[in-house]
Every structure is written in C-alpha cells, then in structure tokens.
Amino acid sequence: MTENSDRAGPLVEARALSKSFPVRRGVLQRTVAEVQALRGVDLKIEQGETYALVGESGSGKTTLGRCLIRLIEPTSGQVFFAGEELTGMASGELRRRRRRFQMVFQDPYGSLNPRMRVGKILAEPLAIHKIVDRAAREDEVDRLLEAVGLPSSVKRRYPHEFSGGQRQRIGIARALAPRPDFIVADEPVSALDVSVQAQIVNLLKDLQESLNLALLFIAHDLAVVSETSDRVGVMYLGRLVEEGPTASVFGNPQHPYTVSLLSAVPVPDPETKRRRIILPGEPPSPSDPPPGCPFHTRCPIAEERCRSEEPPLAMTPAGHAAACHFPGSLAAC
Ligand code: SF4
C-alpha cells in the first residue's frame, strides 16, 4: 500500500485547479450562466496525512475532492498523483491507477448496491483490481470486515439489514479493498446519528494511521475534524481562504470567515465563553461572485480595498496561510 514510500514530494497535488458547471435553462437547454465551483485552487497532500476541507455547503469542497481523483473533469489546472499528472491522462491509463484512489461517500446506503450481499460488494473490487486470486478472496473479505469492526457473518446479509453506522463501515471496507494510497471521504458522518459519528471518525483515523493512507476528509462540522486532521483548508466560494496545520488554524484563525465558523463550535468548558459571530446574509452565488475579496459582502471588517482587490492566499504572521488583506484583525477585535 505504500508504493511511494521512497518518492519525494506530495502524494496528491492540485495546481491552479478550476471547475465551472454550465447553468442551462429553457426547452433548448441553453447555457445561461456558469457556476464557478472551483477557482484556481493549489493544494498538496502528503502520504500518511489527513487533510480536512471545511466550509459551508456550496463552497466547492466536494467538487475539489472529486476533481482530485478525476471523478469529475476540472475545467483547467492540473492534478498530480504520486508525481504523475492525472489531468489529461487517457482513460485506459487512468483506469489502471484508479485502484490507488478511492472514495467514501456521504450516504452509505445510496452508495451500496442493495441487491448485493456484503460479501459480494467487498469481493467485487478485489476481483476487478486483481488484488488477490479467487481462492484467497473469502479470507481477504474477512480481513476487510475485521479491519472495520464487523464480524465475518455479515457477508451473507444485504445493505438494508444494517444501521447507518454499520453501512458506513461497509462503505469504508469497500474503499479499502483495492489497497489504495489515497481516500477521499466526502462528509462520511454527516448522514449518521451523532452517537455513531465519533466511532466512524475514529475508525477512519485509526485506519489512516495504520495503513499510512493519505486521507482527504471533507466536512462542514469543524468539531469533527479538529481532533483528527493534520492540516485543514477552509473553502469559501470555490477558493481556499485559509490553510495550515489544524492546531494553528483552529488555535489562531486569521481569516474572518474561519473566525466566524469557529465561533459556532461549542466549547466543552462551561467556564469558557466564545463570542458568536453571525455572518449577515447568504454566500453570494458562485455564478456571480463579487469583485475583490469574495467574502467582502459578509465580512464584518471589510474596507474599501476589499471591494476591488482580491487577496492572495499568503503566509501570515501566525505561521499559516490566509487570503485576507488584514489577517488576524477580526480575531483580535
Ligand atoms: Fe474581510 Fe477584507 Fe479580509 Fe476579505 S480581505 S476577509 S473583506 S478584511
């Protein structure tokens, strides 16, 4: 599972990645606008690293995750995996590399074939990717089930016979079956009961560590990722607006958007009071992003410069990057 252990450089890299979707209307389905879901995103994920992507829905997190493994085609920019460029790679070449990047979906029920028994669901990727020969498949399925905390007896059952948490365990086992190097987990716990969310998050983290996987963990709940990720990227309107080691970004947020997101996270200590920052209005439409800083229409400390000049994602005195002309100013207010 670590074909790249000796390779220098990130396992996954995006350079200036953009993705637009056409908005079609009318009987003739004419294109009337373009939704800019991603706008020039640069990102690196190292082998054995958990990188969390957070932000409101519609910020581009899922689109970024899917572009990184070419489940959808970026409009422009490049994606590299283990030093090879995936963007522009012919479909046959890409298919041979697919084993190495897998996805865990938000809806464990919708992502499992309801007509297949669990044993077959897990044996299928083993056969497709020729992971083990036919005689060893049964043992390998048992090993996968054990890795996700399920008994081998569940092989004979169908997905509808399980709880949401158990189904997500099966979804994770299926993602692990081809022995990938990189997993994109897209909101893997948001459809689950709060009581089982922590179990699934801990399972993913344990597997990521023991198998030295790179894990992209997409979430809108910052509390979920604060304990589990090495680095975090905060997205707003298709751009990364803050990025760095999780302890630094969460402990000393520099971008007003991150400050507002963190202000909504409950603090476990009842003695500690956190000032809640409620942003006015909804995020602007990604088909018509505002000029200048895309956050200026909601930012409590926006100044004239923010309305015309888009700030780059740049290193701040806090030791991590933020896209703001006045980093750290809202947190200091
Ligand atoms: Fe707010 Fe201006 Fe910073 Fe944008 S650049 S986040 S509008 S202070």
CA distance 81 to 71: 14
Residue 283 confidence (pLDDT): 84
Per-residue DSSP letter, 304: G
Q: Look at ligand 1, atom 3, and give the residue with the nearest C-alpha.
A: 324
Query: 101-104 and 182-186 as β-strands: parallel, antiparallel, unpaired?
Result: parallel
Number of CB atoms found within 10 A of residue 333's CB: 11
CA distance 278 to 257: 10
Say how many Å lie between the CA of residue 259 and the centre of ligand 1.
12
CA distance 19 to 8: 28
CA-based nearest residue to 84, from 7, 16, 18: 7
pLDDT at 271 over 70: no
Residue 1 confidence (pLDDT): 45
Region 315-324: what's the mean pLDDT? 97
pLDDT tens-digit readout, 33-51: 889 999 999 999 999 999 9
Q: Look at ligand 1, atom 5, and give the residue with the nearest C-alpha.
A: 324
Residue 195 confidence (pLDDT): 81
Residue 332 confidence (pLDDT): 64
Q: Closest ligand 1 atom to the C-alpha of 306?
A: 2
Mean pLDDT score of the chain, rounded to an integer?
Answer: 91
Residue 183 confidence (pLDDT): 96
Say how many Å lie between the CA of residue 85 and the centre of ligand 1.
34
Q: What are phi and psi for residue 196, nearest 5 degrees? A: -105, -5
Per-residue DSSP letter, 100: G
Domain ranges of the chain: 255-333
Buried (b) or exposed (e) across 112-127, using 16+ Cβ within 10 A? beeeebbbebbbebbe
Q: Look at ligand 1, atom 6, and give the residue with the nearest C-alpha.
A: 324
The model's confidence at residue 23, banded by pLDDT at 50, 70 and 90, is confident
Residue 102 confidence (pLDDT): 94
Ligand 1 neighbours by CB, cut-off 6 Å:
255-256, 293, 295-296, 299, 301-302, 306, 311, 324-326
Q: Do 190 and 136 contact (CB within 8 A), yes or no?
A: no
Pocket probe for ligand 1: among 240, 304, 307, 324, the residue whose CB has the most ligand atoms within 8 Å is 324
The model's confidence at residue 171, banded by pLDDT at 50, 70 and 90, is very high
Region 61-75: what's the mean pLDDT? 95
Residue 111 confidence (pLDDT): 82
- Matching residue, tokens 């701040």: 316
CA distance 215 to 308: 36
- The lowest-confidence range among 164-178, 230-244, 270-284, 286-300 is 270-284
CA-based nearest residue to 246, from 206, 264, 280, 219: 219
Q: Closest ligand 1 atom to the C-alpha of 327?
A: 3
Residue 5 confidence (pLDDT): 53
pLDDT at 270 over 70: no
CA distance 303 to 293: 10
For 66, half-sphere exposure in the C-beta direction (CA atoms, 13 angstrom radius) is 16
Q: Closest ligand 1 atom to the C-alpha of 325?
A: 5
Say how many Å lie between the CA of residue 257 and the centre of ligand 1.
9
pLDDT tens-digit readout, 71-127: 999 999 999 999 999 998 999 999 889 999 999 998 877 889 999 999 999 999 999
Q: Which bin fits 328, alpha (ψ -120 to 50), beta or left (φ > 0)?
A: left
pLDDT tens-digit readout, 214-225: 999 999 888 888
The model's confidence at residue 277, banded by pLDDT at 50, 70 and 90, is confident
pLDDT > 70 in the chain, percent: 95
CA distance 123 to 116: 11
The model's confidence at residue 180, banded by pLDDT at 50, 70 and 90, is very high
Query: 101-104 and 84-85 as β-strands: parallel, antiparallel, unpaired?
Result: unpaired
Say how many Å lie between the CA of residue 133 and the centre of ligand 1.
57
Say how many Å lie between the CA of residue 306 and the centre of ligand 1.
6
CA dist 58 → 216, 255, 315 (Å): 17, 19, 26
Tell which wins on pLDDT, 6 or 186.
186
Report the predicted TM-score, pTM, of the whole model to 2 decimal places.
Answer: 0.92
Query: 101-104 and 12-25 as β-strands: parallel, antiparallel, unpaired?
Result: unpaired
The model's confidence at residue 26, banded by pLDDT at 50, 70 and 90, is confident
